[in-house]
Amino acid sequence: MLLLVPLLLFTGLLALAYCRLAVSRTIKGPRHLPLLGATLEAMSTVDRHHDWITDYAYKFGTFEMTLGVFPAWRRLIYTCDPANLQHFLKTNFNNYYKGTFAYELQNEFLGKGIFNSDGETWKQQRKAASFQFSNTVLRRHSLQCFRKNGLKLANLLAEKIASQQNQVNMSELFMRLTFDSICEVGFGVEMQTLSVSMPILPFAAAFDSANVIVSTRFFNPFWKLHRFFNVGVEAKLKKDVLLLNQFTSTLIQKRREEINSNTSHGMSKNEHSDLLSRFLVMDKESAIDDANVRLRDFIINFVIAGRDTTSIALSWLLYLVSNRPQVQAKILQELQGIWQKKVEGNMQYLEDHSHENQACCNKCIEAYGASLDFEALASMQYLHATLCETLRLYPVVPEDGKMAYQSDVLPDGTHVNRGDVVIFAPYAMGRMKNLWGIDALDFNPERWLKDGVFEPQSPFKFSAFQAGPRICLGKDFAFLQMKMTAAILLKSFKFHRATNDDVKYRMALTLAMSKGLEMFVEWR
């Protein structure tokens, strides 16, 4: 008799699962199993998840799956239809939010930062960040910082060539470049990780580890159980987050002390060029503990926005152009034309030297970097097109989703129930022939140009920077650093793949390369 109740309960759950399965057989998407939905198939394809999603997008355009263990599973609707994107990212924006599903998965890592928050919390952060990003002082400071670190990377590569250690992992160097830049622009701290000694940075290792672990929760229906018993990767995540919190706490305390010292010497709040200082000044009326939590979340979210995104995009750019001499030739032609307009009197000297004298080479790099101002970077139409083509095929954030607050119907007729998560996948969208033509899989920067001038696409078609009210605030800053760095490096060096192995992405919140990008570098 005692066994009857659990037996009946299990039988009822199984019956409900089969009913759900019967319905799901009529729905476009992966095959669903009783109690598990598409969880097993999703787990078995985790190493090629974005291509797995692309395969179903090819077949159906919009499709659905359920992940988790019944009855605690979640219905996910994937779509590559620009009209659908415009609907839930803009037109009916108030009905779609990050939701509890995403928040639970990422809370320990991202907290209530701008990438993981909703409602008033998100609105306040968005408003404050938007105000700061429009600040002229920040833009000038960012340009100077991006130039300085781009030149530092070029000089490091020059030293590698001089010492005949010219095989380098460019993904790692780009990560160091963007980490130094984001710490200086965002937090007013010079980390100096981009140096010949290549110092080990525990924060970066913990950050990358946490990024991967929270993304794999998406496919693991038992992650809460692992967290409860503090085992496996969940135990590792706990240690990673502790290290991240220690780093951010020290950083906040240091900046707070410096601001107080500067204020006592008559420095106004508008003179602070880094974002953390400006947010600290704005938040000085709040309780310190509350402010520290908000600022911790700001730092972590800002690092993932400014470090990971730009460095990953630069890695994929170098990967794509390194074996396409025709694309490189067009980039160089554009860079050469801009350079000629800036320093015509120095052209002969700067082009004819033989790279035998490193001091001479460094002088040339410095001179070229100094010419890259806002006007020069804005005139790089072909390079801008090449970057957009890179992000079309390898978007830094390969998929993102929103939870429905109330039931809805998408423009293509797909029914959305309350609590469903609607996901757009820039990685898959960039490969859709109905959006980009029969050559959608080809790397072709010319598709972005009309009479030699860059022609942007709808953000609901090219969704690498999101769209609608949540469109990326740092888009212009990202292009600023990517163009600055790419111009300096491609003008000065030739890059060749060090191995013929396939370059694969790793499963994380961002589309990083699983083993980095090993390249041989030589003078151009």
Report pLDDT digits (tens) over 112-146.
Answer: 998 889 989 899 888 888 888 888 888 999 999 99
Please name the residue ranges forming H helices in 379-449: 381-393, 426-429, 433-436
Tokens of 88: 């839930």
Instruction: Please say if the pLDDT value at position 513 is more than 90.
Output: yes
Residue-averaged pLDDT of the chain:
87
Amino acid at residue number 107? N
Q: How far apart are CA 280 and CA 299, in angstroms?
A: 12
Q: What is the mean pLDDT of residues 364-391?
A: 94
- pLDDT reported for residue 218: 83
pLDDT over 90, % of the chain:
57
Instruction: Please say if the pLDDT value at position 91 is more than 60.
Output: yes
Band of pLDDT at residue 356, cut at 50, 70 and 90: low
Question: By three-state DSSP, how is residue 345 classified?
Answer: helix
Is 197 or 347 the better-scoring residue by pLDDT? 197
Band of pLDDT at residue 416, cut at 50, 70 and 90: very high
Instruction: Please say if the pLDDT value at position 72 is more than 80.
Output: no
Q: How far apart are CA 304 and CA 207, in angstroms?
A: 9
Q: Which of 21, 25, 45 is nearest to 34 (CA)?
A: 21
Q: What is the mean pLDDT of residues 65-89?
A: 90
472 is in an annotated binding site: yes
- pLDDT reported for residue 349: 44
Q: How far apart are CA 254 and CA 68, in angstroms?
A: 43
Which CATH code, of 1.20.120.330, 3.30.1600.10, 3.30.1490.100, 1.10.630.10, is assigned to 126-391+448-523?
1.10.630.10
Main-chain phi, psi angles of 408, to 5 degrees = -155, 170
Band of pLDDT at residue 23, cut at 50, 70 and 90: very low
pLDDT digits (tens, 9 = 90+) for 28-64: 899 888 888 888 898 899 899 999 999 999 999 999 9
Question: Which DSSP helix (H) or strand (E) runs through 167?
Answer: strand 167-169
The Cα-based distances of 213 to 69, 239, 343, 413 in angstroms read 20, 12, 49, 35
pLDDT digits (tens, 9 = 90+) for 476-503: 999 999 999 999 999 999 999 998 888 9
Helix axes 475-492 and 358-370, enclosed angle (nearest 10): 150
